[in-house]
């Protein structure tokens, strides 16, 4: 459907470099990354606002790299919705049709506004609408031109947190109903888990990893990706004749490694915290001392020092109370060899 090959763009001192990805027909593809890594520039280049310094953009096999925006059949919804304040909702929605032949029937318009539940808003102006209503209007304006691909630029970030989950469900429903391919950028993991079929992680103007959600979050391909997706336990490991060591602690990793030095990553939720040593099939167990306990509603993050090696562990509030977890307390941490990921 949409294929980007080695796309590069330079804007003053900022650039995106050699980005390649392919979005399938009907797929919801999410690009995630911290603020300032080039996510919006990437979308706007696909839309046609910037001319690439290198690389190509293909839509349904056609090279559209040098097409103007109105000829690409791609639509975009911005973070602030970019509605025209002097136009009514109806006028905002049909605005994009000025570049289209007069082939969109009144029935199509009615069907779209009914699907989005904005029938009663058509004669109102944007400054009288709520955030969710503005979002629906912006989506209607994008869909009325019948694009092949819909681009979403952090469409939920300006909404109240209490309203975002409902709007995620709404966006997913719209995408499933229309069957459109969607490319969305965000920095919120909840958007990824709720919406994405596949995800790409972007850093400093380039894509570091692409895959399905489980693969990227469980098997990060770089230290940046590991840290970004919350794999807080990242250690330098050394391979010796009799095993794998991290700061003097021998780790059982359950597989061979062809490097003498490498990174090991372990998710906080994959660690069992206990008062006594756990008897189980897990092959890694160490005694340590609690150095910090931080509430992360509804969980707690417990930092445990094991011979100078600090582990971050996530436990429930009930476990903290039941085991009386507090600073200075001796505890055991246990984790499976299969939970350790080699970077």
**Gap between the Cα atoms of 13 and 265, Å rounded:** 33
Residue 241 confidence (pLDDT) above 90 = no
Residue 20 confidence (pLDDT) above 90 = yes
Q: Return the half-sphere exposure (C-beta side, CA atoms, 13 A cut-off) of residue 66.
A: 2
Mean pLDDT of all residues in 58-76: 92
What is the pLDDT, as a whole number, of residue 178?
Answer: 86
pLDDT digits (tens, 9 = 90+) for 179-238: 889 999 998 888 899 899 999 999 989 999 999 998 898 888 888 998 898 888 999 999
Strand ranges for 41-83 from DSSP E: 54-59, 62-63, 74-77
Strand ranges for 89-196 from DSSP E: 149-153, 181-186
Q: Computed from CA positions of residues 173, 177, 178, 183, in that sequence, does the dihedral angle turn out positive or negative? A: positive
Residues of the chain with CATH 3.40.50.300: 2-218
Helices (H), 260-330: 317-322
Instruction: Select from 176, 202, 175 the least CA-distant residue to 21.
Output: 202
**Gap between the Cα atoms of 183 and 175, Å rounded:** 11
CATH for 232-338? 2.40.50.100
Choosing among 3.40.50.10540, 3.40.50.1220, 3.10.180.10, 3.40.50.300, the CATH entry for 2-218 is 3.40.50.300
pTM of the model: 0.83
pLDDT digits (tens, 9 = 90+) for 129-169: 988 888 888 888 888 888 899 999 988 877 777 777 888 88
Q: Which residues contact 126 (CB under 8 A, 6 or more apart)?
A: 81, 83, 84, 85, 87, 89, 92, 134, 137
Residue 73 confidence (pLDDT) above 70 = yes
Residue 16 confidence (pLDDT) above 90 = yes
Share the mean pLDDT of the chain.
89
Residues of the chain with CATH 2.40.50.100: 232-338
């Amino acid at each position: 459907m949409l294929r980007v090959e080695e796309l590069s763009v330079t804007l003053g001192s900022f650039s995106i470099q050699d980005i390649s990805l392919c979005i399938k027909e009907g797929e919801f593809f999410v690009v995630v990354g911290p603020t300032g890594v080039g996510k919006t520039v990437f979308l706007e280049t696909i839309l046609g606002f910037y001319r690439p310094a290198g690389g190509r953009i293909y839509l349904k096999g056609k090279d559209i790299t040098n097409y103007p925006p109105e000829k690409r059949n791609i639509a975009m919804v911005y973070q602030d919705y970019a509605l025209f304040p002097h136009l009514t909702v109806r006028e905002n929605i049909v605005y994009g049709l000025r570049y289209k032949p007069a082939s969109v029937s009144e029935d199509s318009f009615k069907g779209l506004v009914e699907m989005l539940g904005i029938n009663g808003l058509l004669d109102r102006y944007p400054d009288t609408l709520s955030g969710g209503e503005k979002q629906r209007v912006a989506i209607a304006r994008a869909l009325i031109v019948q694009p092949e691909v819909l681009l979403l630029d952090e469409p939920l970030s300006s909404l109240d947190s209490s309203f975002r989950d409902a709007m995620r469900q709404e966006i997913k429903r719209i995408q499933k109903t229309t069957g459109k391919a969607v490319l969305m950028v965000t920095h919120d993991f909840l958007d990824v888990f709720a919406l994405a079929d596949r995800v790409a992680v972007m850093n400093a103007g380039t894509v570091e990893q692409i895959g399905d959600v489980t693969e990227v979050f469980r098997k990060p391909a770089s230290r940046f990706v590991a840290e970004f997706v919350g794999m807080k336990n990242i250690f330098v490991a050394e391979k010796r004749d009799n095993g794998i060591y991290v700061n003097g602690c021998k780790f059982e990793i359950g597989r061979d490694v062809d490097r003498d030095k490498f990174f090991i990553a372990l998710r906080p939720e994959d660690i069992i915290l206990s008062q006594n040593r756990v008897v189980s099939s897990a092959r890694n167990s160490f005694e340590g001392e609690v150095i910090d306990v931080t509430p992360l509603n509804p969980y707690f993050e417990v930092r445990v020092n094991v011979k100078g090696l600090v582990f971050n562990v996530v436990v429930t509030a009930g476990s903290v109370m039941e085991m009386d977890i507090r600073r200075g307390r001796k505890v055991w941490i246990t984790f499976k060899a299969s939970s350790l990921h080699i970077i």
